[in-house]
A = this chain, B = another copy of it.
């Protein structure tokens, strides 16, 4: 379940709307052969899509996985959705890796970011 252990812990930042996102929620099966390798390959592939803005991923151990991909426009998302190697991975996901999933494709209308200004440290005074 540590497929994404190497991913940075920084969330994708708020971009200027409009942009698109795809929320992919998954419950996995016990059959995970080649899942990690395929996933890593997909993470590499998507970076080549013009207009790709980034990806957030979280996985509750033994529970729900959520991946959110961000794209500049609908065309970028369509290009990713129809990529031949990605489609093959989708088919294999339905055949083997996923007990269930839901995909929500949405156009971002508003976004907001927050970053703590000072590093957390013991009170100085």
Contact = CB atoms under 8 A, between A and B. Distances in A.
Interface of A: 4, 7, 9-14, 20-21, 23, 25-27, 29-31, 56-66, 68, 70, 94, 98-116, 120
A65 B80 CA distance: 25
Most buried by B among A60, A100, A104: A104
Given A11-B100, A99-B116, A106-B109, 19 more contacts: A9-B27, A10-B27, A11-B25, A11-B102, A12-B25, A12-B102, A23-B23, A25-B56, A30-B120, A57-B66, A58-B58, A58-B66, A59-B60, A70-B104, A94-B114, A102-B113, A103-B113, A104-B108, A104-B110
How many copies, total?
A: 2
Contacts of A63: 4, 7, 9, 58
A111 B100 contact: no
